[in-house]
Amino acid sequence: MAGPEQPQIYLITPPEIELSSFPKTLARVLDSVEVACLRLALSTGDEDAVQRAGDALREVAHARDVPLVIERHLQMVERLGLDGVHLTDGARSVRVARKGLGPDAIVGAFCGASRHDGMTAGEAGADYVAFGPCAASALGDGRFAAHDLFAWWSEMIEVPVVAEGALTADLVASLAPVTDFFGIGAEVWGLDDPAAALRDLTAALT
């Protein structure tokens, strides 16, 4: 994923999805909002459930030329015909993922609020580094990725950066000059019209 001039949307699935309905909801969102990449981020470790979801969402995403990466399940990327993997353990698995998937796959790394982990992941071959949450949140240990981290990264490091977690319209507006992608999921999926919610959240980008 190359960093664009204007930040793009990197859509993240809910941790649990209903396969009878979610692919249709996802299709409506992708048809109404321009999305650069989709991440399958299920909380389950059930490989059969992950495989069924991967098959269903790959069809929806690839029909619209949206690459699909999977969170954590490195061994499923090639089996499911996906475009890459999103690693959640900072820089630790980047080198292994890159070696296993080859140079053309997308390998991303979530690095919390750690500049050091981000730099290490980039040096190990990550295509992008994600920092977050972007505001104080009930999730995690209370630390968050502040504006200063994104500003420093965008000025000093060429590896594209993703801002994700606890995003608001105001945060999107303030971080837009210093990030390449916004990782958005929980902010929109629980609402009646996820596509409209996504448009409202990212209004500053249009």
Mean pLDDT by 10 residues, the chain (206 residues): 80 97 98 98 95 98 98 96 97 97 98 97 98 85 92 97 97 98 97 97 94
Q: In this structure, what token pair is assigned to residue 168?
A: 């608001």
Query: Does residue 133 have a cis bond before it (omega within 30 degrees)?
Result: yes
Delimit the domains of the chain by residue range: 8-205
Confidence (pLDDT) at 5? 78
CB 125 within 8 A of CB 94: yes
Confidence (pLDDT) at 139? 64
H or E element at residue 8: strand 8-12
Rg (CA), the chain: 16
Q: Between 22-32 and 194-201, two packed helices, what is the crossing angle to 10 degrees? A: 40
pTM score: 0.96
Confidence (pLDDT) at 176? 98
Confidence (pLDDT) at 142? 80
Pick among 1.10.40.30, 3.30.300.30, 3.20.20.70, 3.40.50.1980: CATH of 8-205 = 3.20.20.70
Confidence (pLDDT) at 8? 97
DSSP symbol at 143: -
DSSP symbol at 112: T
Confidence (pLDDT) at 4? 56
Q: Which residues pair with 109 in a beta bridge?
A: 87, 129
DSSP symbol at 127: S
The CA–CA distances, whole Å, from 172 to 41, 71, 86, 89, 180 equal 21, 23, 22, 25, 11
